[in-house]
Amino acid sequence: MTTFAGKTALVIGAGQNIGRQVALEFVRRGARLAVADISLEGAEETAALIRKAGGEAVALACNVTDEVSVLAVIDSAEAALGPLDILMNNAGILSGGNPQDIPLSEWSRMFDVNLFGMVRANNVMVPRMIERGRGHIVNTASFAGLYPFAASRVHYAAAKAAVVSMSENLSLYLMPLGIKVSCLCPGPVMTTSTTGMKEFSENYVMRAPGSHLMVKSQQETARILADGMAAGRIIIPTHDEVWETLKQRAADPDAFIAKKNAEYLAGDPGKPGITQDVIDSIRD
Ligand SMILES: NC(=O)c1ccc[n+]([C@@H]2O[C@H](COP(=O)([O-])OP(=O)(O)OC[C@H]3O[C@@H](n4cnc5c(N)ncnc54)[C@H](O)[C@@H]3O)[C@@H](O)[C@H]2O)c1
């Protein structure tokens, strides 16, 4: 549990839900934190929870679509904590609809936040980490970026697939330079992320990653991430079932899509199961 002792970390997108729980988990494991979000109020709440738990945290405002804001937040975090050991790019947005109803402007917004937001932060942090010969970058993707099921949010899935590819290829380059890269790939996690989500179609069905999966709590997600980072893992999924799914997809990608469509037409949109404990965990 002391793997993160003495480490400094900045989590961008830590104003609520997964990012907040990850920040709390890093602190439990000994890290000092800067927590940033487009909602300064959310970041301040996270910092208050960290202090209440006996940890150290600074709260910062950051809009990942603004290069100046991203540079400022990294500079402020390093001024407060010293050189950053960990940068986690967790900010993300979600919207839904049938592909023909998603306008180019929404594709653009999706990529601007979910991919280029990370690129902006990494473009500042990677040269600093290379100079120091150490560091750990964590990018949050999604199961939607790992295999096809997200017909109701193709633009989101495409941005997350780009995050997976970016993370893997960055790790290929940075690992020999002493810098680790991890990519958190959440499957279904109990959060409030769909509240107020933009929807571009009427009467579309939100297709999900699979009815064989169970929704995980944010707290368990944070523990899985921290354990995976400590083990030096690059792709860190929340659910181990994904490895079998990826094998099936690799064995026959066309048959994989045909099977998904057959399941969907039979009335199974891939909605995961959920326990009362996980529903209750959102109030912790
Ligand atoms: N909940 C899930 O089941 C799930 C599944 C797959 C992937 N994810 C990914 O996990 C991450 C966290 O998701 P969550 O469920 O906790 O959702 P969330 O919406 O609560 O978290 C996203 C955070 O990013 C912040 N944010 C949004 N736009 C921003 C911007 N422009 N600049 C800075 N911050 C911004 C939000 O304020 C929020 O605090 C996201 O990247 C999401 O895509 C979640």
Domain at 8-281: CATH code: 3.40.50.720
Compute, in angstroms, the gap from residue 105 CA to the centroid of ligand 1: 20
Compute, in angstroms, the gap from residue 133 CA to the centroid of ligand 1: 29
58 has pLDDT over 70: yes
84 has pLDDT over 60: yes
CA distance linking residue 183 with residue 166, whole number of Å? 9
35 CB near ligand 1 (under 6 Å): no
pLDDT at residue 3 in the model: 76
Sketch the domain layout of the chain as residue ranges.
8-281
Model confidence pLDDT, tens digit, residues 199-256: 999 989 999 999 999 999 999 999 999 999 999 999 999 999 999 999 999 999 999 9
Give the angle 92-32-162 at the CA atoms, nearest 5°.
25
Helix (H) or strand (E) holding 60: strand 57-61
For residue 4, give both structure tokens. Answer: 């993160």
63 CB near ligand 1 (under 6 Å): yes
